[in-house]
Amino acid sequence: MQKPRISRLSHHLQRGVGVNAPSGRILNNTDPSSSHSIYDISLLSQILDPKLQFTSLSVYADPVRKMKTQVELKFSSFFEKWMCLLEEFLRYYLRVSAENSQEVDHEVLVNMLTAHHKEFYTYKWAAAHEDVLAFFAPVWLSPVENVNLWITGWKPSIAFRLIESLRKIQSPGASLATMTDEQVKKIEALRVKIKMDEDKVEREFERQQVGMADRKMVKLAALEKRVVKNGESAVTQLNELVEMAMKGLLGGLEKVMKMADCVRLKTLKGVLDILTPIQSVDFLAAMSMVQIRMRKWGKKHDKNLQ
């Protein structure tokens, strides 16, 4: 598998506002408010952890579990680097926000982070084509992270719950607390559409699971009994059926995974199209903090069990 290039987010963050916004922007051309709000870390710490501390993910860089395949090894390495760059982005934004910098270009930050997420899915799909099962039981995640998965990733509905929480928390400089009525209506309409998409993906996933009991699988089980009785006489036929059944199963799972990822990307794009640049950065920073915090909790829990 050809290894895609890791994002240059670290380089861009060090350069700061001198970065040119990439083409193909997701956001509408909405100018940020002339009064840049301060991103108050206490806003999210009320959601996540009152004693929130930023300990680098590199402290927990050891693999969560023993890797078994080349795909798992490669993706684990990629994911660790990807998460560290995500945390670097968050650190940068919290720092410039705390300094109340008037020079920060929120649209540039949004473009940088969305490109970072797109790179994740590009790498994920390439790896899943080789071993899709690895993503339904990811060894690079802790049990705490795994239990919160929805079909190999985060559930899109979480984004809307997070927006609602950020709107209700009245904190100085909290940009999502100032959403207009029109924005709220559009977010609600998007939430309804995304819920329908989630249901569609879940139905397809259920169809794939039920397919395990179709006639091919029943015939395979019956043939396996014959192999036990007749020795090698039915081995060839059994192997062919096994290969056929596995090919269908893996293809179906890859389809479901991509459907779920498309809903995740659709959610991000839809939300960012509605929010202003500064609101978009606050939203993406909140999403990043949730993901980073969950990973640290999981790794700390695993370490305590050792």
DSSP for 192-238? HHHHHHHHHHHHHHHHHHHGGGSHHHHHHHHHHHHHHHHGGGGHHHH
Q: Which residue has the tokens 């980073």?
A: 292
Q: Which of 120-124, 229-233, 258-262 has the lowest mean pLDDT?
A: 229-233
Q: Indicate whether 201 pLDDT > 80.
A: yes
Give the model's pLDDT for residue 232.
Answer: 59
Q: What is the pLDDT of residue 246?
A: 78
Residues 93-119, mean pLDDT to the nearest whole number: 83
Report which of residues 22 and 2 the model is more confident about: 2
pLDDT (mean) for 45-61? 42
In this structure, the dihedral spanned by the alpha carbons of residues 14, 17, 22 and 24, taken in order and rounded to 10 degrees, is 130
The region of weakest confidence among 119-128, 155-164, 224-233, 280-289 is 224-233
Tell me what the mean pLDDT of segment 236-246 comes to.
70
Give the confidence band of 117 by pLDDT, cuts at 50, 70, 90.
very high
- Most trustworthy range by pLDDT among 20-34, 44-58, 87-101, 221-235: 87-101
Q: Are 89 and 14 in contact (CB under 8 A)?
A: no
Q: How many Å apart are CA 179 and CA 164, to the nearest integer?
A: 11
The region of weakest confidence among 78-82, 186-190, 223-227 is 223-227
Give CA–CA dist 133/152, Å, rounded.
10
Confidence class for position 263, pLDDT limits 50, 70, 90: very high
Local structure of 99: helix, strand or coil: coil
Q: What is the mean pLDDT of the chain?
A: 77
- What per-residue confidence (pLDDT) applies to 102? 65
Which comes out higher in pLDDT, residue 80 or 4?
80
Predicted pLDDT of residue 68:
78
Q: Would residue 5 be called left, alpha or beta, if left means φ above 0 and alpha means ψ between -120 and 50 degrees? A: beta
State the pLDDT at residue 220: 61
Q: Which residue has the higher pLDDT, 44 or 270?
A: 270
Q: What's the mean pLDDT in 20-40? A: 33
| Average pLDDT rounded to a whole number, residues 194-220 | 83
